[in-house]
Amino acid sequence: MPPTVHILGAGGIGIAAAAGLVRSGWNVTMVDANTAKVASGRRDGMRIHGGPAMPVPFVAFDAWEPAANTVVLLCTKTFDNAAVLARLPASPLLVPIQNGYDPHLDALDHPCEAIASFVSACPADRPEARITRAGCLHIGARRPANDMQRERMATLAAAIGASGLFPVHLVDDVRPYKAAKLMYNAAISPLAAGAGVDNAALLTDPLANRLFFALLLENHAILRHARVPLARIGPFHPDVVARILRTPLLPQLMRHFFRPSLRGTYCSMAPDMGSGRTEMDAYNGHLVRIAGDLPCPINRAVIDMVDRISGQRLAPSPTHLQDLAAALPPGALA
C-alpha cells in the first residue's frame, strides 16, 4: 500500500513538496486553515504554475483528524505550530519543512527535518505554486537516528525529488543547513517585509543594502559565537559570505551578481507585516537568545521595528528602515 502523507499548509513549499509525492504514488492529503483555498483545491485541484492540475483531497484544518501512522509534513509558519501540535497524535511521523526555530517544536523527539533554499510563491486563496528562485531541498536527521528512521528519510527524499522541480539532497545532519538558512532569512525578512519591497531592493537601495550586509554579518557572528555548525546552501558557504562582506569593494561586486536572482521575489514574512503576528521570534528572536553575552544591536533593533509595525498595524514603508538606522548605536553600520 502506498504511504499516506498529510501536508499541513497548502502554500508554496507544501505544494512543491506534494508534487513529487503525488508523482511517486503516495496518498497525499492537503490540509489548510484557509477555507477559500480548501474550496479551490477541492474544485480545481492543486498545481505547479503552468502545469496540469493534481486532484488530491483537501481538508480544512478544523476538520483534520490525523492517524497515528500518517506521515505529516509541517509546512506552516512557526506561529501556527501550537495549534498543529495540539492536534497531532502521540507518535506522529512528523517532518517539519519550516524556516526559523520554534522552541515547542524543537522539544519534540521527531528525527527528521527539511529546509528549502528555493523560493516558492502561492496565492492566498488558490493552491497554485510557482518557483520564483531556484534552489534545493535538504532532508536529514535533526538528532541521532536509527537505521529504520534513516531509511524513511531516504524514501521521503526520493519521493519528493520525483517532481524534478528542484534537487533534493539527503544529508546526515540537517541542522547546519537550517542554521545557514536562518542567517539569511533573519536578514532578508525583517528588512524587506518592513520596507515593503522585493528582496532585490536590499541590494539596490543604499540604506537597505547597508542594513542588510550589517545584519548578515551580525547573524554570522552570533551563530559562530554560539558554535553552531553551518553548511553551504547557496553559491558560497556562510563563512565565505562573511569574508566577502568584510573585504573592501567585494560586497559591491557581489551584489550585482546576486541582484537578478532576487528581483521579483518576496520573503514569506511580507504578507504578515502589519497583521499583528510574524515569525520574528523564530528568526531574530532565536538569534538573540543564542547570542549570550555577544552584543547584537541590529537584531534587537529589527525586532523592535517589526514589533512596532505589527503592534500598531502600520503599513510597510522604506521609512521604517530610516527609523531603524537612526535607532542603532554609533558604529553599528560601519
For the stretch 42-56, pLDDT in tens is: 999 999 988 899 999
What mean pLDDT is reported for the chain?
A: 92
> How do residues 73-127 score in pLDDT, each as one tens digit?
999 999 999 999 998 887 678 999 999 999 999 998 899 999 999 989 899 899 9
Determine the average pLDDT of the residues in 303-315: 93
Do residues 282 and 155 share a domain?
no
Name the residue range of residue 77's domain. 4-173
- Say if 333 falls within a structural domain: no
Do residues 221 and 106 share a domain?
no
Helix axes 238-245, 206-225, angle to 10 degrees: 130
Burial (CB < 10 A; 0-12, 13-18, 19+), residue 68, is exposed
**pLDDT band (50, 70, 90) for residue 265:** low
Q: Is the dihedral of CA 173, 76, 279, 273 positive or negative?
A: positive
> Is the predicted pLDDT of residue 173 greater than 90, yes or no?
yes
Q: How many domains does the chain have?
A: 2
Do residues 133 and 8 share a domain?
yes
Do residues 255 and 239 share a domain?
yes
> How do residues 117-141 score in pLDDT, each as one tens digit?
998 989 989 999 999 888 999 999 9
What CATH number does the domain containing 69 carry? 3.40.50.720
- Say if 282 falls within a structural domain: yes
E strand or H helix that includes residue 4? strand 4-8
The candidate with the shortest Cα–Cα distance to 178, out of 95, 85, 104, is 95
- Say if 219 falls within a structural domain: yes
Place of cell 554560539: 226
129 in Cβ contact with 48 (< 8 Å): yes
Do residues 223 and 104 share a domain?
no
